[in-house]
A and B are shown apart, each in its own frame.
Chain A
């Protein structure tokens, strides 16, 4: 696999040079927002911030945060800085709880976005020799087209299969000798499961996959190992990160060292804050990621609250890049479940479950309120027929899962063994939690 660096000039900068560049970009951006977006003009004026008052990077703290709610309140184009004529693309995210989040791109924005994606897919090991299948739904989401353009930029051969139609996906993988796949972790695992089910007709050796560019939902180290083992043959999974408000995928991604996701820091200025108080935390601390998209123009983002919990490591990496690396997303500040006062992230349950071979990798959390107490039920699929001879073995499995999860979460749970394929499969973001407390 390739250890190439797409843009060494930007990805291996000296820290001081990078920060000087970020400061210049930040001042430009603040000035641009002030002049072109009435929403920001008002916010900045209220906060008493102008571009010339920003003397160092930490002065960013005087700029108010921007939230997803701000995008919804200004639906569809209230935060845009340019007339529609200057837009060359519009994307939108699902609006399950209100207005969709609409974002736009100038030609320069698309160019920057492709550059960012080109860096992260190169870091993951893709090259102009790579045949890559994109299994994200194209639709209005940024995932598929973002990776698509970035991969085309590096000269890879892009196969836009989109999501679903698993047998066709597998057929193309075999017939095109596809090297890399862009998918959610759960769909990548599902594809592997499906490939194994068809192995009588099409042996696993017919697949040449060596790289997974997985994203759009979290992937624990345990799940990654499982995906790699299911595909076998040296399949290598990398994680990447982004969101439509910040162009899309491409903000950061793992290199072959897989020790955090390298941030395109000349484009994205990141901070970590305490989600509850909004206080900026020290470097290295774990908290909510806040991002300023320094180079975005169509819909600029000043201090956007991602709601994702992570931490950032500023040490240079063994791969040669000097850009900071963000830890895998630990949880969502708003997806976080509070059960009997304890913070619970679905990813914690997932890491407890993986390694237990008698169950499938699919699970579901059901939260209920019984009387005045919250209860958490963890539903897992029992797939090992050999346990059916003795009740004791099934009960032992149940106890083992119970113990593994309880040890991590620190709260009482109920484990339910359910039949295979009764937990819903997802081709997009997995919905692992059913919260029935307010019903």
Chain B
């Protein structure tokens, strides 16, 4: 039920993002979702890719500072209030979200996909299940 997310430490300098994305492209790695947060000096690039083991090997060979963490992908109908319901369910169980980012899936059945990172992934999954919130499987996300 977990999705592998890759976090890469990058310096905030012109062209660095271009270099890293080109590096992934050269290996045929497809980016499913991404998020960048930054300060003036450095940033963290977070990626969901189609082939995490391949990306991990590439990053290790290139000597970058990175980590792989488990995150949860939640599928929601794309309508007002959809996200609010999920957040309420989590808040009600005392779960706080470290960070999250979202994208719309391209399928005909239009829905939003939320990638979220929480402290206690197991507990969060239980809460989401009880609230009848759809969580996406790894293969589903990687092959979106």
Contact = CB atoms under 8 A, between A and B. Distances in A.
Contacts of A416: 41-42
A41 B15 CA distance: 62
Interface in B19-42: 37, 39, 41-42
A418 B9 CA distance: 9
Given A390-B98, A391-B37, A394-B42, A419 B10 contact: yes
Contact of A385 (B7, B10, B41): B7
A256 to B, nearest CB: 37
A385 B63 CA distance: 11
A390 B11 CA distance: 16
A343 interface: no
A386 B67 contact: yes
A420 B11 contact: no
Interface residues of B, number: 18
Interface residues of A, number: 18
The listed residue with most B CB atoms (<10 A of its CB), out of A382, A391, A420, A422, is A391
Interface in B81-124: 98, 117
Contacts, number: 49
Nearest to A358: B65
B58 interface: no
B64 interface: yes
Interface in B37-82: 37, 39, 41-42, 44, 63-67, 69
Contacts of A421: 63
Contacts of B10: 419
Contacts of B117: 389
B63 A388 contact: no
A419 B64 contact: yes
Contacts of B39: 391, 395
Contacts of A390: 98
Given A417-B41, A419-B9, A419-B10, A384 B65 contact: yes
B66 to A, nearest CB: 5
B65 A420 contact: yes
B65 A385 contact: yes
Contacts of A382: 9, 42, 65
A388 B10 CA distance: 10
A319 interface: no
Given A394-B9, A394-B44, 7 more contacts: A389-B67, A389-B98, A416-B41, A419-B11, A420-B63, A421-B63, A422-B11
Interface of B: 7-11, 37, 39, 41-42, 44, 63-67, 69, 98, 117
21 contacts: A385-B7, A385-B9, A385-B65, A388-B9, A388-B65, A388-B66, A388-B67, A389-B7, A389-B67, A389-B69, A389-B117, A390-B98, A391-B39, A391-B44, A395-B39, A417-B9, A417-B11, A419-B64, A419-B65, A421-B63, A422-B11
